[in-house]
Amino acid sequence: MISISSIINIALRSLIVNKMRTFLAILGIIIGVGAVVTMVAVGSGASKKISQQIASIGSNLILILPGATTQGGLRMGHGTQQTLTLSDAEAIAKECPAVVSVAPVISGTAQVVFGNQNWSTGIMGTTPDMVVVREWEVVSGRFINEQDVRSGTKVAVIGQTVAEKLFGELEPIGKVIRIKKIPFEVVGLLEKKGQTFTGQDQDDIIYVPISTAQRTLFGQTLPGRVRLIYAKAADLESIQQATEQIRTLLRQRHRIGPNQEDDFTVMDLTQMLKAAEESTKTMSILLGAIASVSLLVGGIGIMNIMLVSVTERTREIGIRMAVGAKPKDIRMQFLIEALFLTTIGGLFGLLLGIAGSLIVSSIMQWPISISVFSALIAFVFSAFVGVFFGFYPAYKASILNPIEALRYE
């Protein structure tokens, strides 16, 4: 009986002697594994990015928008009819047990000036609960407090983008900026949040007390009204209950009859973003499955090349059988060759996949997440492909008649 080490040596020598055939067989596996790793890395990166965006917006978040106006039978969209008030927000905080925090908002866009620098950004008048609702940390200074809201203080809390555009390397806390030519003291700097999944820069924002926004900045356009209300449910399981409580309360406050439509819209932002995350995960799996087809094609290529190899080496197989090699030794040799081909192809494919992922990330500015688990699965699957598609050529070689094989030209 021929030892395993001898069979391995024979298989390796055969692969080395036939370099072009070996390269062509390996090439399909390299492309297949590389495609799987790249596709999964891109898909996982997108899923991870959306997860981060969900966390940046805030958990268990509910958005209440005012109603839509109708002109000539045309509905103009959410927010065109200002139906929400500050007292609505206060009522939601007091009378909806499933809601833990509420932050009304008056918003607009204005040119902001500091020294010789200026920047157009979003201005939001709000209350101290905004940092709780949005789960937004203040990295320097403080946020708006109740005293600011009661007194209508001209103070501002700025996002990282505004700080960069107006102050550069300067410390913004204590500096005075002008919003609509009105001086505001910067009292806080928010942590960086990044972009939403729609591409909006969350850090390009300035928060001021809602009373100051009403009296000084946007009072003429929104007398006694708010543009929207943020609400935070106690937990994920309470979102549906909180949504129903808010809807019931606002219908009562706005005196909406049983057969009348709501003059507001209650949206569960967390669930919407979770749905987007699930869609991305599904797309990631689909991309991986499509890329896996390349591995199957590579396996078929190995089988075809090894079948040709069996035909070319018929005389060699006959000589080996004549000197004592058994059918299982022949099978083992061809299986080992197939396993070596896919293992080497898998290793190079992993390197190609990592390189391809980095290139895609660099060119398209797309996040990637190279998973060790997915890379390992692709590598193991490539080895399985080698054994699976190498078995038939190995079996065909092992059943050759030694005498006929020796006569083969």
Q: Is residue 242 exposed (0-12), middle (13-18) or buried (19+ Cβ within 10 Å)?
A: buried
What is the DSSP secondary-structure string of 154-183?
-EEEE-HHHHHHHHTTS--TT-EEEETTEE
CA distance 17 to 67: 77
Indicate the DSSP class of residue 3. -
pLDDT (0 to 100) of residue 70: 47
CA distances from 268 to 250, 278, 353 (A): 16, 16, 38
Provide the pLDDT confidence category of residue 348 given band limits of 50, 70 and 90: confident
CA distance 107 to 228: 9
339 in helix, strand or coil? helix
Provide the pLDDT confidence category of residue 407 given band limits of 50, 70 and 90: low
Q: Which of 74-78, 80-84, 234-238 has the highest mean pLDDT?
A: 234-238
Read off the pLDDT of residues 80-109 as tens digits, 9 standing for 90 and up: 567 888 899 999 999 999 999 999 999 889
Provide the pLDDT confidence category of residue 73 given band limits of 50, 70 and 90: very low
Mean pLDDT of 18-41: 78
Evaluate whether 244 touches 121 at the Cβ level (below 8 Å): no
pLDDT (0 to 100) of residue 344: 83
Structural tokens at position 383: 């080895």
Domain boundaries, the chain: 4-53+275-407, 82-262
Question: Over 70: is that where the pLDDT of 200 sits?
Answer: yes
pTM to 2 decimals? 0.63
Mean pLDDT of 230-256: 89
